[in-house]
Chains A and B, each alone.
Chain A
Amino acid sequence: MSSIAINGGANRTAAFYESVVGKKAIMAATGFVLCGFVLGHMAGNMQVYQGPEKLNHYAELLQGLGGGLWAIRGVLLLCAGLHVMTAFQLWRLKNDARPQPYVKKATIATTYAARTMIWSGPIIGAFLIYHILHFTTGGTHPDFKAGDVYRNVVVGFRNPGASVFYIIANILLAIHLYHGVWSMFQSLGVNHPQYTPKLKLLAKGYAWVVGLGNCSIPLAVLTGVVGASVK
């Protein structure tokens, strides 16, 4: 018999997480939730183009969810936490797996996005903290008024430094999605000659839509397309 025993119960859950496949499945499942969120978040924010009433009403609607909002936040925070923790452990594993680097190494198939997941991830994470302090709690916002989301967005983005950081972070987010959105299917075991090319196309489309949508808001504020009425 094999030297590896298959245990039951809690041991098995630990063994699942310990294996490289189990960790990747967790990356994929949490990534699935998070990329669903970024698309929804972007789509909701597009209401900024419909004026202050529309956007502020949308914000009220979300706040009106009460306990539901906190439940959603809890799930997202859990997913983000697991995604980051697993990514960190995988990154350490990667360094362990090849202690001596190549003198010369060529890359012939890996995309830029795939190579930079470990860099785009932490930068997006840092951006996320700034973003929450900026528009949710108002800690890093120059003139935060709770409830007046439209005004907060316009005033916040009139600072070119903040806008540039948003744009850079969202380009990185798009690059992260470019690899992540098809990669999560592969990690969960979905690969078929008929569907995988379509999933790769979906990932490209997803990255462009989320990236362009998010970057358009600071650009629209800086160019005066949005928020001309705000003093």
Chain B
Amino acid sequence: MKIILNIWRQRNAKSAGKMARYEVADASEHMSFLEMLDVLNEELTRKGEDPVTFEHDCREGICGCCGFMIDGVPHGPQRGTTVCQLHMRHYKNGDELWLEPFRAKAFPVLKDLMVDRSAFDRVIASGGFISVNTGSAPDGNALPVVKKCSDMAMDAAACIGCGACVASCPNASASLFVSAKISHLGLLPQGQAERDRRAMRMVMKMTEEGFGYCTNAGECEAVCPKGIKIENIARMHRDYLKSAFTYREESQAGGAG
């Protein structure tokens, strides 16, 4: 089948980009979306043109590398999957698609459909350490974990950090991502000692990196390939507010501190 693609072409982080029109003449319905782009890129390479840059790695929806906008939706029209898991059978002959990079001040475009998401790494780093013993594996059940907390923590930990939440958010907020990271440690006993401090620091870092704020629109939850819920955002707000209102100086009594 024939697919018409309007793709954002941008030479580097400094240059201005623009949409360019391409045609993939014989895309197979069995191809994944990224394989269809591979076909386009081979064609472009044969013609001596610059191939379209897009990020990808595992191509099975678990690494968080891939992701761009297809017709204004991160990862395209299929819910609960990344763009590498989207297949061409969902399209028909002659379809015209618009591909754009994720857009946010905190996600500068590096080239074409590839953006720099290292702001996410800096937010994670700002959360600091958790206090667990290294060395041999702990005894099973030495530390009781409430089943429902474990479930919620694992659901939050499913976040692959692809950035679709930021891309879809009308305010370019990273709240879903940051709240998933805060929740997956904050719900487990191992994460309690630094829970308040972590929430405070990660929220401040998220603000500093230039991400927007959450208006509870729910767009992120709808596009998240891992089904992360905005319930996590409420938990982040709760942890942050608690941390802000219960803060106290470290005790110096008895020569401590």
By a beta-carbon cutoff of 8 Å, the part of chain A in contact with chain B is 1-4, 6, 8, 12, 15-16, 18-25, 90, 93-94, 96-111, 114-115, 117, 179, 182-183, 186-193, 196
Partner among B8, B106, B213, B237 whose Cβ is within 8 Å of the Cβ of A188: B237
A94 lies within 8 A of B197 (CB): no
Partner among B8, B105, B126, B230 whose Cβ is within 8 Å of the Cβ of A186: B230
A189 lies within 8 A of B210 (CB): no
Best-buried of A3, A8, A117 by chain B (most CB within 10 Å) = A3
Partner among B71, B100, B208, B210 whose Cβ is within 8 Å of the Cβ of A97: B210
A20 lies within 8 A of B203 (CB): yes
Any A CB within 8 A of the CB of B111: no
B234 lies within 8 A of A93 (CB): no
Complex Cα–Cα for A111 and B222 (A) = 12
Given the known inter-chain contacts A6-B197, A20-B206, A20-B207, please indicate yes or no for A191 contacting B231, CB distance below 8 A.
Answer: yes
Chain A residues with CB below 8 A from B207, complex form: 18-20
Any A CB within 8 A of the CB of B215: yes
A108 lies within 8 A of B219 (CB): yes
A20 lies within 8 A of B214 (CB): yes
B103 lies within 8 A of A101 (CB): yes
A185 to chain B, nearest CB (A): 8
B237 lies within 8 A of A24 (CB): yes
Interchain pairs with CB closer than 8 A, number:
156
Any A CB within 8 A of the CB of B172: yes
Chain A residues with CB below 8 A from B239, complex form: 189
B217 lies within 8 A of A115 (CB): yes
A21 lies within 8 A of B100 (CB): no
Given contacts A12-B244, A190-B238, 16 further A-B contacts (CB under 8 A): A2-B126, A2-B127, A3-B126, A20-B203, A20-B214, A22-B240, A96-B105, A96-B210, A96-B212, A102-B72, A103-B6, A104-B72, A106-B71, A107-B219, A183-B215, A189-B235
Best-buried of B103, B126, B204, B214 by chain A (most CB within 10 Å) = B204
24 contacts between A and B (CB under 8 A): A2-B125, A2-B126, A4-B126, A19-B207, A20-B203, A20-B206, A23-B213, A24-B214, A25-B241, A94-B213, A96-B212, A98-B103, A98-B105, A98-B172, A102-B100, A103-B100, A109-B222, A111-B217, A114-B216, A114-B218, A115-B217, A182-B216, A189-B234, A189-B241
Complex Cα–Cα for A16 and B249 (A) = 16
A19 lies within 8 A of B128 (CB): no
B241 lies within 8 A of A97 (CB): no
Given the known inter-chain contacts A105-B72, A187-B237, A191-B230, please indicate yes or no for A97 contacting B216, CB distance below 8 A.
Answer: no
Q: Which residue of B lies closest to A117 (CB)?
A: B215
Any A CB within 8 A of the CB of B185: no
Complex Cα–Cα for A70 and B39 (A) = 72
Any A CB within 8 A of the CB of B170: yes
Complex Cα–Cα for A101 and B172 (A) = 11
A12 lies within 8 A of B233 (CB): no
B103 lies within 8 A of A189 (CB): no
Chain A residues with CB below 8 A from B240, complex form: 19, 21-22
Within 8 A of A (CB), among B133-179: 168, 170-173, 175
Any A CB within 8 A of the CB of B221: yes
A103 lies within 8 A of B19 (CB): yes
B171 lies within 8 A of A94 (CB): yes
B160 to chain A, nearest CB (A): 20
Partner among A8, A102, A114, A190 whose Cβ is within 8 Å of the Cβ of B217: A114
Any A CB within 8 A of the CB of B180: no
Partner among A102, A108, A189 whose Cβ is within 8 Å of the Cβ of B238: A189
Chain B residues with CB below 8 A from A192, complex form: 231
Chain A residues with CB below 8 A from B128, complex form: 1-2
A186 lies within 8 A of B72 (CB): no
A25 lies within 8 A of B69 (CB): no
Complex Cα–Cα for A103 and B206 (A) = 26
Any A CB within 8 A of the CB of B104: yes
Contact with A along B107-142 (1 / 0, CB 8 A): 000000000000000000111100000000000000
Within 8 A of A (CB), among B214-257: 214-219, 221-223, 230-231, 233-241, 244, 247, 249
Given the known inter-chain contacts A97-B106, A106-B73, A187-B216, please indicate yes or no for A2 contacting B201, CB distance below 8 A.
Answer: yes
Chain A residues with CB below 8 A from B103, complex form: 98, 100-102
A118 to chain B, nearest CB (A): 9
B70 to chain A, nearest CB (A): 9
Chain A residues with CB below 8 A from B34, complex form: none
